[in-house]
Structure 1
Amino acid sequence: MTRTPLLPLEWQGGRVWVKAECLQQGGSFKLRGAFNRLLQLSQSERERGVVAFSSGNHAQGVALAARALGIEATIVMPADAPAVKRDATRAAGAAIVAYDRMTESREEIGARLAAEKGCVLVPSFDDVDVIEGQGSCGVEIAEQLGASPDKILVPCGGGGLSAGIALALPHAEVVTVEPQGWDDMARSIAAGTPLPVEEPAPPTLCDALQTKLVSPLTLDALRGSGARGLSVSEDEIREAMAYAARHLRIVAEPGGAVALAAFLSGKAGPASERTVVVVSGGNVDPALYAEILAAQAARTS
């Protein structure tokens, strides 16, 4: 596991910090939770293997952790997952089972495979050990900052990372950020109960954040911490990806850039010297990335 850097970002005469989880092994924070979950397996469970479902980042985290621990891994991935994520998952030694995200349920497929193979199902966020592992990101942030952040902006799909950080940093204001139309966590926090994404859900570049219903585990952790939720537009996400490349020299995938988008747009409110923005992943299709950077460069020239 890599101790990812906390990068300074000069902003409006002050400074904030960016936690570059895009530089983690596997290109995202997901290795943290996957490794912690797999470490809890008994020897007999390790011998039977694991199953997970993911659009790509959790897939890579589980595949890398499984390879390191000598465990067989099967990953249920949408057929339209970015090739860069699918290829990296396969390269890490996992078997892939494709499904149609519009007509099939990855949860049902994963549960069926686990039952057929006698494997352990490793959820991407709805699991205490996974959430605890993601929380190590928050522990690192406090150590690197020398104190608890005042505010921390976190990309949110199912909420495993934001919940883990909220538990690790109980004195920080946690702000979850999702794509517009996929803001089920923000709506669930406000309502006090899990609410699904409102259909029809709009298209989004954020394949990593297309979770249609959050977990009571992650929701309870976030509500208990006093967290609040925001959403950002596709244009704001593109701008944040280009900003990360120009000013931070890091690659941010769409889903990994949403917290930075909320910060840059001003939606998250005032910042302090102890404001932290998490860039959670950098696994982006090269052609899409080049297209976004070129379009943003043309707009600012």
Structure 2
Amino acid sequence: MVSWWWEMSNNNNLALCIIITLTLLIILAILWFKFTLSTTSNGAPSLPPGPYSLPIVGYLPFLGPDLHKQFTNMARTYGPIFKFYIGSKLHVVVNTPDLAKIVVRDQDEIFANHNLTVAASIITYGGQDIAWAHNNAHWRNLRKMFVHEVLSNKNLDACSPFRRDEVRKTIKNVYCKIGTKVNISEISFSTEANVVTNMVWENSANHGAKDGHLGFELQMVVSKIVELLGKPNMSDYFPSLAWFDLQGVERDMKAQLKKIDQILERIIDDRSNLTLKG
């Protein structure tokens, strides 16, 4: 092939030679991609149907902003379970309530573990929290501790005055603003934040935030964290690009992690001071 290419270039057909060479490279890339998929699936159950994907980028160029509508249309073509690739990552879509119930409830032991995104890995210190940890002994211990210390009937009954007082404060606050605009989202989040921190640290929510805006601070940070968790990140689909952090998701999530750590450290320090004074 090299000798043929050299002969063609010597005959002043360089442009034609380049075109033919590029065509051959594209064909080889497609064959390599299909060969890779076939070898990775050997010995494994056959994958569900799905649309054809491009080399390297997969089905990414064809995805639109309204994924739920696009998935519904794709389900009409490929059935209630279908697959597509984004970069090197395989994605399987379950598109009916009954199948979703089987995945998240009946077969939860099988489907509980999942790969962390870059954003989730940062905010959870590598998947160490109860929401993102793998289904193993570590997660079971976290769940047992959470249920025993927070969700047990005894603790919920003991913390009922905190919930009642915060709800009464919120109602009184809204009542005093009759005739003016109120931000229901901000008020409800602030109430929830105060209830949770009161349940965990008793009165730390009132004393820990010296500026009186603990709920507002948490809301801003949590809103940004949720936004980053749901933001499509090229580093998740193309791991080789993760080092570059092209969209700045890793940088922004580290900044939010620092903020929420500062808020929690302030609450813990304030609670420690109250204990020492007591």
Q: Give the alignment's TM-score, normalised by structure 2.
A: 0.24
Larger Rg: 2
> TM-score, normalising length from structure 1?
0.22
Structure holding more helix per residue: 2
Greater relative contact order, per chain length (Cα 8 Å cut-off, separation 6+) = 1
Quick check: which one's strand share is greater? 1
